Structure 1
C-alpha cells in the first residue's frame, strides 16, 4: 500500500480551501493527510461581500462565511486557525509556523509532500505621514470589516474620506453613504475607475457626484493629519485639505508573496507567483499556487496579468485540488471581466482598455453607443453606454466597457464569452440573444455596439 501523502495548504480562504476540499473529495484520509494554516479568524468567506455588510445590505457576518473551520474539520481537513506560516524550506520540504494566539510558544516545522500557496493579497498602503493613525482602515478580510463596523458603531463618525476610486473605493463609498456619512472620494487619476477608459470613468464620476458622493479627481494625497489624540482629522492633498473622522483605503491590493519571494519561488512583474496552466508553480513539481497571490494568463493579450478576483480563486483552487487528488485539470486564463456598482450605477468591463491595446502595439477602432436597458417604451427602461474595441484589420473583439443603470453590468458576459471564443465583431452581430421588451431593446446594446464596430473596421 503506498505511503500516505501529506498536503499542506497556506491560506484558509477561497483558493486554499477549495483546493483542500476538492483534494479530499478525490482522496480519502488514509491516502492523503491535509493540513491547512490560516492566520486570521475566519475561513472560506466572501471578501467581496464586505462592502455590503458594512453598508447594511448584509446584516449578519455569518452570511459571508461559506464554510466554517469546524465544517472543514468535519470533512477531514485539519484547519488550524490563527496560525501563521513564517517560512518555506523547499530543500527540506517543510514550513515553519507560529501560533498567533500564543506568541510565547516556539515555532514549529511541518513536512509536506505537496504544498499549496494561497496567501491572498494585502491592501495597498502608501508610505504617507499619518497612514497608521487611529481611524485609517484597509478593507481586505472579515477582521478588517469587523474593525470598521466597530468604529462606525462606537465612534459615530460623520465625515469619511475614501482614498482611491477603484472597485474597492467606490463600493466602500457607497457603503459609507448608506450609513449616512458625508463621503469624499479622492482619486489621483483624471477619472475614477482606472479599470475603465477615462471617457467611461467620467460617466462614473458624474453619477457619483449626483448621488451625493463628492468625487475629487487629480487629487494626490500627501499626508493624513491627526488630532492631539493621534486620531485622523483630515486628509491633505497637494491642493486642498478634506476633514475626516474616518479614512478608508481603496487603493487596490498587491499579492501577498513575501514567503514565496524568500523561498526563491518565481514571481512576475506584479509580484504574483508564476504558475503553469495546471496551477503548479513553475519549476516545482509539488508546489501549487492560486488565488490573489498569483498572476494569470490573459487570453486577449497573451501576457501574464494580476487580476485578483474571487471567481478566479475558487476555480484555481478546484483545479489544484483535482490535480493533487490524482485527476487532471487546467486553468486556461482570463479575459479580465469585472463588474461593480455604486448606488444605482452599474459598471462593467472585459478585455483590453485603449491604453492596454496601444501598449501591445495593436491597431484598433473604438466605438461608443448609448442605448437603454429595456425597450424604450417599456416602464423602467434606463440609459446605458457601451464602448467596444476591435482590431482594425481583423475585426477581432478586443474589449467592452458598460456603464449604466439596472441591467447594464451583466450584459458584459456576452462580450466575455465572445472574447474567450476569439470572435470578431461581425460574428457577434449574428448572436442569437434573448429578446422581450422588459429585458432588452430588439437590438441589444452590445450588438448595436458590435454593428458600429463592424462599420468602423470596414472604413479601415
Structure 2
C-alpha cells in the first residue's frame, strides 16, 4: 500500500483550517496526512468578532472560536499551536518551524502545501509606536492583550489611529468600555472605502455619538510618560491625551515568508493564485485568506481584500482541490458592511475614484429614504448612493449609510453587480415588501430609478 501524501498548512485560522477540514472530509488519514502550524494559541476563530468581544457585546472569548485545536486533532489533523513556520523550501518540499515555547526548530516535509498566513495590522514606524498601551488588533491574542490593558488602565482617554472598518469598530468598542474616544484620521473623511460625501455622514454621526473624529490628522509620534507607557498621541498641530491607543490603520498581507521562498506576489502585496487558489507557477502549493489577491469582478483588476467570508470560501476551494475534487473561486465585488454604535455602513463595487482610475465615465445618484414605511413605528433614515456607467447604465457601485435595516440592503446591490445588471434592470427586481420591512419602493430601488434618469440625461 502506498504511503499517505502529506499536506502541510501554514496558518490555523479561517482559510487554513477550512482547507484542512475540507481535505480531510474527502480523504482519510490513510490517504492524506495533514499537519498544520499556528503561531498563536487559537484556531478557527472569528477575527471579525474581536471588536464586539472587546466592547462587551460578546461576553466570552470562546464564543468566537468555531473549532478548537483539540477538535481539529480529533479529526486526524496534526495541529501544532504556538509553532511558527520560519522558512519554506519550495525545491526541497519542506518547511522549517520553531516552537515558540521551547525555541526548538525542525523541518517537516510536504507533498502539498497551503499558505494561509493572513494579514498583519499596519504599524507605521513612528517614535513610541511600540510603547506599552499601543495595540494592533488582528488575532485573539491581540484582543486578549488589549482587554488586559483596558482592565488595568485607570485613565479613560483612548485614541484610535485610523478610521477604516477596524478603526470605527474599535471606537465603538472603547465607547462601550466607558472611554472618552478620539479617532485620528489622516484622510478627508472616515471610511475611505466610501466616497467623501458618504464618509461625511459617518463623520457627523460619530461626532453626534460623542466620538471626537478628527480628519486630516497625520500622527507624528506616540508620547510616553516616565514609566514608558503611552500618555498622548501627537499630530502636526495637536496633542491628544491617551491612556490606550488602538491602531486601526488597516492591514497588509502577511507574505514575507512566501516572498523569501520566491512565491509570486502581486502589486497589492498579496500572493497570486489561479481560480483554483493554486499559487501561480506551483503545482502543489495553494494559498488563501488575507494573504492573497482576489479578482475584482467589477474592475477586472486584482486586489487585496481582507475578509473572513472570502477566507472561508478560499479554504473550501483549496480543500476540495487538495482532496481530489474540483472547485474554483471566481472573484468578488468588494462588499463590506460595518457599524459604529447604531450607525450602519455598507458598500459594494467601485467608488467614484475607482471608476475614474479605470477610465470609466459614470453618473451617480444619491437618495434619502427610510428603512420601513414612513408611517410604521421605528422607521429610520438612510442614504443610498449609486454609481452607474454613463453609456450602458451598468451598475458600478452602491454605498449605504443609515440606522437599523440599512446595512444588509447592500446585498441587493452585490447580487446585481455579480450579475452585471444595469440600473434599469434593477428597478424591476421583485423585492419583498411589507410596511415593517421597507417602503413600497425599497431605498435601493429608489436610488436605481434616480440613476436611470441620470443615465438617460447623459450625466455630468
Decide: shared fold, TM above 0.5.
yes
What is the CA-CA distance between 1:4 and the residue it aligns to?
1.1
The one-character-per-residue Cα deviations of 1:132-163 (angstroms, maximum 9, x if unpaired) are 11110000001111011111112233100000
Taking structure 1 as the reference length, what is the TM-score of the superposition?
A: 0.99
Question: Aligned pairs, how many?
Answer: 458
Within 5 Å, which residues of 2 pair with 1:33-182?
Answer: 33-103=33-103, 105=104, 107-182=105-180
Aligned partners of 1:108 and 1:182: how far apart in 2? 48
Task: Choose which of 260, 274, 277 in structure 2 pairs with 1:279.
Answer: 277
What is the CA-CA distance between 1:364 and the residue it aligns to?
0.4
Give the match for residue 6 of structure 1: 6
Taking structure 2 as the reference length, what is the TM-score of the superposition?
A: 0.99
**SS of match in other structure, 1:452:** helix
What is the CA-CA distance between 1:39 and the residue it aligns to?
0.2
The one-character-per-residue Cα deviations of 1:309-365 (angstroms, maximum 9, x if unpaired) are 000000000000000000000000000000000000000000000000000000000
Task: Choose which of 337, 342, 347 in structure 1 pairs with 2:335.
Answer: 337
Aligned partners of 1:45 and 1:191: how far apart in 2? 31
Task: Choose which of 258, 267, 270 in structure 1 pairs with 2:268.
Answer: 270
Give the match for residue 312 of structure 2: 314
Give the match for residue 366 of structure 1: 364
**SS of match in other structure, 2:379:** coil
Aligned partners of 1:17 and 1:265: how far apart in 2? 21
Aligned partners of 1:151 and 1:189: how far apart in 2? 28
**SS of match in other structure, 1:110:** strand
Aligned partners of 2:253 and 2:162: how far apart in 1? 18
**SS of match in other structure, 1:366:** strand
Aligned partners of 1:273 and 1:327: how far apart in 2? 23
Q: Does 1:190 align with 2:176?
A: no
Aligned partners of 1:324 and 1:314: how far apart in 2? 15
What is the CA-CA distance between 1:47 and the residue it aligns to?
0.5
Cα RMSD for the two superposed structures? 0.6
**SS of match in other structure, 1:441:** coil
The one-character-per-residue Cα deviations of 1:192-218 (angstroms, maximum 9, x if unpaired) are 000000000000000000000000000
Aligned partners of 1:173 and 1:155: how far apart in 2? 17
What is the CA-CA distance between 1:92 and the residue it aligns to?
0.4
**SS of match in other structure, 2:138:** coil
Within 5 Å, which residues of 2 pair with 1:228-307?
Answer: 228-307=226-305
What is the CA-CA distance between 1:130 and the residue it aligns to?
0.6
- Gaps in structure 2 of 5+ consecutive residues: none
Give the match for residue 455 of structure 2: 457
Aligned partners of 1:418 and 1:192: how far apart in 2? 27
Aligned partners of 2:87 and 2:183: how far apart in 1? 38
Q: Which moved more, 1:145-154 or 1:439-448?
A: 145-154
Aligned partners of 2:36 and 2:4: how far apart in 1? 17
Give the match for residue 29 of structure 1: 29
**SS of match in other structure, 1:451:** helix
Task: Choose which of 393, 396, 410 in structure 2 pairs with 1:412.
Answer: 410
Aligned partners of 1:270 and 1:299: how far apart in 2? 16
Give the match for residue 382 of structure 1: 380
Give the match for residue 355 of structure 1: 353
Aligned partners of 1:94 and 1:78: how far apart in 2? 16
Aligned partners of 1:48 and 1:223: how far apart in 2? 28
Aligned partners of 2:132 and 2:95: how far apart in 1? 34
Aligned partners of 1:253 and 1:362: how far apart in 2? 28
Aligned partners of 1:372 and 1:434: how far apart in 2? 15
- Gaps in structure 1 of 5+ consecutive residues: none
**SS of match in other structure, 2:375:** coil
What is the CA-CA distance between 1:40 and the residue it aligns to?
0.3
| Runs of 4+ deviating beyond 2 Å | none
**SS of match in other structure, 1:388:** strand
**SS of match in other structure, 2:347:** strand
The one-character-per-residue Cα deviations of 1:352-409 (angstroms, maximum 9, x if unpaired) are 0000000000000011000000000000000000000000011000000000000000
**SS of match in other structure, 1:233:** strand
